[in-house]
Structures are given as structure tokens and as C-alpha cells.
Structure 1
């Protein structure tokens, strides 16, 4: 069911004024449409200043909001953390507070993590681990954690509104038994598979990296020892721009064909003599994921590389 949701309600979900404004002008949305729209706005349309505004709306992990903070957003944050910190000792909270200070001093914003289902010890461990990151890497991780929090709050928002509508309708209208059509994702604004490259050694985007996207064609999955019963077929080729983002690697299709995909990066041309002259990342898309977006970036260092699934 598509719902019209106001700007103030969206801001409770995220904390960014620009995010809330763009969500409120996106028209009535179903819960699934809202997730796709929110991810696109958060990762592609708002800027770093908007990210920082959302971060600053949270109280620090383990802290209660200041009496001067009177917002539904901050109170929601405390509620989400309450289970993890209900039985935490004073000494453990002090250690967390000390690490919060170190983290903010290094990165300029508070530690952001989706607290749902996590213990105090898990969050403290994550804080210490992420403290070692370079600022540009940590900024992206914090933004992804913020999106997790936003999606949880959006789910609750839609659930609460659906309950109100259901209770209202049940008192005035008969229940429809007509089966509903399968919900589909909204029209995409970008190809379903994208990537970017970050040069961790410089803390900056890597421009001019050649990128190749392939899909496995065969009756069985790829075997990296004997080749398996198929071949890798090219889908598209591009290069990263000055922001480290690749140009389109495939057509703008609504449903992505399930299968095994491979994104390869010609890192030798970007950094001659580097330890990893060519990097390939292989991932799978299932039938249930065909409407989703797959952002698979490369974080490149002189003697290591890493990746993750973004949105």
C-alpha cells in the first residue's frame, strides 16, 4: 500500500533535512519503493554535509541525549541502544566514552553504528576496529550504518501507519479477498550494478581505472580450478571518473538477470608496478534479489584491497 508521509516523519527516520525533503516530495510510496528511493537519495543525491547532519542528530553511543535536545530522532536512538546498555557496568561505559572522544577527535563526527541486536561489547569492538580506518573510508562506512538505521525506522513507520489504516478500514469496509499482484521495484535511475574505486593510500578517489563487468554463462557455476562448464561473457566496460565512480557497465534494466557476476579492475594502468596489477571481484545475484541494486566498490591499497556490498 502506497502511503503519503510528511517531511517531519522522514526526518525522524534519518536526521537529514535534505533527505527528508526529497523523500516527502517523492509522492506516495509503498514500503519497498521507499527503501529503493531512500537508498538512491542517500547515496547519490544528498551530499556529505547532509550525511554529517544526520550523524549529529544522534546522541553518542552509550550516552543519553542532552536535556537541551528535544527531538523524536534522539529519543529513538536512545531506545534502540537501551537493550545493549541496560546491564553495562560503569567502567565499561567509561571505556566507551573515552573511545568516543578519540573517534570524534580523529574523524570529526560521532561513531555511527546500527545498534539493533548488538551488545555493548560488540559495539565497542567495532568502534576500536573502525578507529584504524582512513577518514574517507570511515565516512562511507558511517553512511552505510546510518542507512541501516534509517531502513529499520522506515519499516517501523510503515508498520505503524499500516496498523492505523487497517484498524480504521476494518471498522468501515469489508476485507478484500482479491489476491494482490507481486510488488515490483520502481523504475531504476541507474544500472543495477555499479562500482567505484577508492585509493586508500591517498585517501582519495581513483580516476581513470578501467573496469570490466562480466557474467558467467554455463549450466553450472564457475569453477576457478578447472574452468567449469561455461565461460565469462562480457557485459560492459567503462572507466572511473574524477570521483572514482565507473561509467555505466550495463543497460538500465528493471530486473537484473540472476547469476554470477565478475567486476575486474585494471589497476596496473592506474598504478604501474603495483602489487595487484589486476583485481577481480565475483558475486552472485539470486532470483529474489533481481530488483535490488548492487554497488560493489574497490578499496585499493599498495599491498591489500577490500570490497563490500553497498547500495
Structure 2
């Protein structure tokens, strides 16, 4: 079931199971979703987004890995409408960029042990490749922090769509 455009009041009124399900479409960490549902009602969309950021910051690495499981590789065939929207800039990328992204993804995963996650919304294939190349120079601890920041950005965009708030 899709919940896009639900509104904050609609989200707060959902039965617990449906509310968790709606949040799992934003971020596939069950602990994140359950924690946000437990915090209802929220006085504003911003309050929900701030809670989402705070919960994400406290998740252990295993739970972060669950969140990463909900994202395809940059440049791979998107498996959800949200991923397709977010990676729309890659669709028109030159074949050389797509090949370089695929190769970069593999190098990234080998180095860091998880997928290259970036808030791709509004970025071209060239921009995403440039970011990937730069991030390959990070040490694992720095990169894990960067990845968590990118995940928080993606979660905010998806929460905005869920609640019908484009901001």
C-alpha cells in the first residue's frame, strides 16, 4: 500500500502496524520506524523530521545496514518508485558514466563494506560519479559518518513525500 501525501494528521492517526509500514517505505530500518511511531503524535512535520534524524543518529551499525538494504546501487536499476525518482539524473547519463559508476560502486563496496549511498535527488550522473570518486578517498570512519548524513537527507525527502510536504 502506498501512503504518499498522507499528511501529518493522517500519519498520526494510522494504526501502529500501518504507520510502521508507511515509514519502512522511507527507511528500511525497523528500529527507526518503530521508534518514530512510538513518538506520535508530532506537532509538526519538522518535529517528525528532527525525531527521524535523532533516531537515525542513535541506531547501531547493524540497524544502519538494514537501512542501507533498502537502497539500490547508484546507477543500478531502481527497485522502487522513490529510488527511480531520486536517481532520475542517472537515467540520461552517458554510457561511460554508467560504466564508471558501476566500477566505482564495486571499489567503494570493497573498501567500505556497504553500498555507496548518496542523496541523489537533483544530481546528474556526472555529479554522482564525482561525489563517489571523492568519497573513495575517505577513511572508513569518516565515510560512515558521511553515509549516515546522506541517509538522513534521503529520509527527510521521503518523509516529506509521505506527508505531502515537498520541502
Report if TM-score (shorter chain) is over 0.5: yes
> Pairwise mapping of residues 124-139 of structure 1 onto structure 2 (< 5 A)?
124-139=129-144
Does the CA contact (< 8 Å) of 1:60 and 1:100 recur in 2?
yes
User: 1:50-73: per-residue Cα shift (whole Å, max 9, x none)?
Assistant: 1111112111001014xxx6xxxx
Q: Does 2:51 match 1:37?
A: yes
| Larger relative strand fraction | 1
Distance 1:140 1:121 in 2: 23
Distance 1:111 1:63 in 2: 12
CA RMSD of aligned residues (A): 1.5
Distance 1:92 1:153 in 2: 26
> Pairwise mapping of residues 1-311 of structure 1 onto structure 2 (< 5 A)?
2=9, 3-4=11-12, 5=14, 6-29=19-42, 30-44=44-58, 46-65=59-78, 74-82=80-88, 84-159=89-164
Does the CA contact (< 8 Å) of 2:104 and 2:133 recur in 1?
yes
Larger Rg: 1
Gapped regions of structure 2 (runs ≥ 5): 1-7
| Larger relative helix fraction | 2
Report the TM-score, using the length of structure 1 for normalisation: 0.46
User: 1:265-287: per-residue Cα shift (whole Å, max 9, x none)?
Assistant: xxxxxxxxxxxxxxxxxxxxxxx
Deviation at 1:140, TM superposition (A): 0.8
Deviation at 1:154, TM superposition (A): 0.6
Does the CA contact (< 8 Å) of 1:59 and 1:78 recur in 2?
no
Counterpart for residue 299 of structure 1: none
Gapped regions of structure 1 (runs ≥ 5): 161-311
Distance 1:138 1:56 in 2: 17
Deviation at 1:79, TM superposition (A): 2.2
Aligned pairs, number: 151
Does the CA contact (< 8 Å) of 1:56 and 1:109 recur in 2?
no
Q: Which has the higher contact order (CA 8 A, sep 6+)?
A: 2
Stretches of 4+ moved more than 3 A in 1?
A: none
Deviation at 1:78, TM superposition (A): 2.1
User: 1:18-37: per-residue Cα shift (whole Å, max 9, x none)?
Assistant: 10111111112221210111
Distance 2:73 2:26 in 1: 17
